Amino acid sequence: MKTTLLAVAVALSATAALAQSMPAEVTEPVTITFYNYNLASAGNGADATRKMIAEFEAAHPNIHVEGVPVQPQDIATRLQADIVAGQSVDLVQMPFAALGFAAENLGAVALEDIVPAEELAGHFEGMVPNGLELGRLNGKTYGLAYTFSTPVLFYNADLFRKAGLDPDQPPATWAELKEAALKIKASTDALPLATGIYGPTALDWLMQGVINSNGGAVINADRTEMTFASPEAIEAIAMLRDLAQEGITENLSITAQMEGMAAGNTAMYLQTSAIQGYLVKGATGNFELRAAAMPAFGDKPVKPSNSGSALSLHSTDPVKQRAAWELMKYLTSERGYTIITSEIGYLPLRPSIVNDPEYLGEWVKAHPLVQPNLAQLEKLAPYVPLPGPNYLQIGISMMDAMEMATFGNDDNVAGILTEAQERTQRLMP
């Protein structure tokens, strides 16, 4: 009797010890899940992600990766539902806006707590420091920076020529953009400009870049006050309203925007560089697709916001933790970023591979399209997540008001924004 009890106790303590440290390698077959939003998209990224998973599995025969496609705006909800249902959630492509929530409520594991310090430091070597910083909360890495994109002004060089514009001189400011757009409107049937600023999937990430570029911000630095009715923000929205009133841009769904640009019916498209792969496919053999940096307000510096995701690890089983960490290492390796940048359009967070002929060197030369995106990597202003339990309501209310001020019938931009700012301020924690 005593011996049995002892045996049980030993067995229990052994499991307890195992639960604390991750094995150095995976020796038995294991299946991990990878919740991924690129897999959920139509053209942009699904194929490349599948390719990376296949390459990884070939190199790690013991690890089987089950990709779970989820729309980015549904990730937090879906994880919550799956965790409650007892599904195994191992690795997640987590949008930065949801990372805090994931760490506090969805059991994201800090890498410092499970990965040996040396191994972690070795992997971080060569990655963009600002990028890594975005995944840290209270000094610990809950998300490993994964896919980053910046807003890029894609344009159709053929339509530019048709309108008598020089495709080598794309508009650098909003004023130049309006001028070019009016010419395009006068001489072609195309929609001069589409933007991804509004829409359920965008929330405020692109808007933050627009307002930051005019010297404003949607929220103050210590995230206690909403500031999107400041004069700079009002000026930025009034500029967008002017474009809408001139018939230069329309309030289109993201599908309509993407299809219009890819079909050659739209001249300019301000949108995340992550759709580059999709647009290149549409443009091939159809028209010449080019890209420029996000437009500036006069001579103020452009501050493109980054949209993006980190990889967060949610396994509690040490073997699965190791398997998921191996996948994280592969996805953020030189090889991983070569696929991510060349086939999807996200930024390479290991900048050294850009000029390395073994990785992106040749591809970048052949595809100058990616240059504005790469150039913007230095100017990135990190996306500021909205605070508190009502963060989504705040974001949605703010974007609703801005959309109304841009496309609605009421000319009183300042009034709409001021009213919404007061209202959302009351929802702040």
Partner 1 sequence: MRLGHLHLDPTMTDFAAEPHPPRMLRRMTRARRFRRQLVPYLYLLPAVACFVIWIYEPLAQAFVLSFQQWNLLPTAPKTWVGLDNYRNIFDLPKFWQALGNTWYYLVGLLPLAVLLPLVIALFTQDLPPRSRNLYRALIFVPMIVPPVVAAAVWRWLLDPSHGILNLGLQGLGTKPIGFLSDPDLALWTITFITGWKLIGFATLILSAANAAIDESLVEAARLDGASKWEIIRDIRLPLLSPTLMLLILMVVLLGAQWSFSYIHVLTEGGPLGSTTNIYYLLWQFGFGSLSVGWSSASAVILFVGFGLLAAALFALKAKVTFHDD
Q: Work out which of 393, 411, 412, 415 binds partner 1, going by CB under 8 A.
A: 393
Figure out which of the listed residues 182, 244, 280, 392 binds partner 1, where binding follows CB under 8 A: 392
102 touches 128 (CB < 8 A): no
Binding mask 81-100 for partner 1 (x = CB under 8 A): ---x----------------
- Residue 428 interacting with partner 1 (CB under 8 A): no
Of the candidate residues 244, 280, 396, 428, the single one contacting partner 1 (CB under 8 A): 396
**By C-beta, is 173 or 425 nearer to partner 1?**
425
Q: Which two tokens stand for residue 191?
A: 């929609």
Q: Are 193 and 177 contacting, i.e. CB atoms less than 8 angstroms apart?
A: yes
Stretch that binds partner 1, among 75-83, 164-172, 204-212, 372-380 (CB under 8 A): 75-83
For the beta carbon of residue 410, count every other beta carbon within 10 angstroms. Answer: 10
Q: What Rg value do the Cα atoms of the chain yield, rounded?
A: 23
Please state at what angle helix 231-245 crosses helix 413-425, rounded to 10 degrees.
130
251 binds partner 1 (CB under 8 A): yes
Q: 144-149 and 140-141: which strand pairing?
A: unpaired
Q: For residues 426 and 394, what is the distance between their CA atoms, to the nearest angstrom? A: 9
Nearest distance from C-beta of residue 408 to partner 1, angstroms: 6
Tell me phi and psi for residue 146, to 5 degrees.
Answer: -125, -80
Q: Indicate whether 244 belongs to the interface with partner 1 (CB under 8 A).
A: no
- Nearer Cβ to partner 1, position 172 or 404? 404
How would you class 14 by CB atoms within 10 Å of its CB: exposed for 0-12, middle for 13-18, buried for 19 or more?
A: exposed
Coil, helix or strand for 416? helix
d(CA 362, CA 255): 32
Cβ 343 to partner 1, closest distance in Å?
28
Q: Kindly tell me the sign of the dihedral angle through the C-alpha atoms of 93, 94, 96, 100.
A: negative
Query: Quick check: 374 binds partner 1 (CB under 8 A)?
Result: no
Residue nearer to partner 1 on the CB measure, 76 or 152: 76
Report, in Å, the least distance between residue 376 CB and partner 1: 29
Dihedral sign (CA 386, 199, 309, 327): positive
Measure the CA–CA gap between 277 and 170, rounded to whole angstroms.
Answer: 21
Phi/psi of residue 228, nearest 5 degrees: -80, 5
**Segments in 251-368 forming alpha helices (H):** 254-262, 276-283, 318-331, 334-339, 361-366
Tell me the C-alpha to C-alpha distance, in Å, between residue 278 and each of 109, 342, 343.
33, 12, 9
In single-letter form, the type of residue at position 81 comes to: A
Q: Which is nearer to partner 1, 227 or 397 (CB)?
A: 397
76 binds partner 1 (CB under 8 A): yes
Torsion of CA 88, 93, 98, 102, to 10 degrees: 30
Min dist. Cβ of residue 384 to partner 1 (A): 18
Q: Kindly tell me which residue out of 86, 129, 298, 389 binds partner 1, with binding defined by CB under 8 A.
A: 389
The reply to whether 253 sits near partner 1 by the rule CB under 8 A is yes
Q: Which residue's CB is nearer to partner 1, number 96 or number 359?
A: 96
Residue 72 sits in the site that holds partner 1 (CB under 8 A): no
Span near partner 1 by CB under 8 A; candidates 76-84, 119-127, 160-168, 294-302: 76-84
Q: Are strands 151-156 and 289-292 parallel, antiparallel or unpaired?
A: antiparallel
| Of 393 and 412, CB closest to partner 1 | 393
Cβ atoms of 321 and 191 closer than 8 Å = no
Minimum Å gap between C-beta 56 and partner 1 is 31
> Is 403 an interacting residue with respect to partner 1 (CB under 8 A)?
yes
Work out whether 427 is an interface residue with partner 1 (CB under 8 A).
yes
Given 130, 227, 371, 390, the residue binding partner 1 (CB under 8 A): 390
* Site residues (CB under 8 A) for partner 1, limited to 407-426: 407-408, 423, 426
Contacting range for partner 1; rule: CB under 8 A; set: 41-49, 51-59, 296-304, 393-401: 393-401
* Interface of this chain with partner 1, residues 146 to 205, rule: CB under 8 A: 200
Residues that bind partner 1 (CB under 8 A): 73, 76-77, 80, 84, 105, 200, 250-253, 256, 260, 265, 389-390, 392-393, 396-397, 400, 403-404, 407-408, 423, 426-427
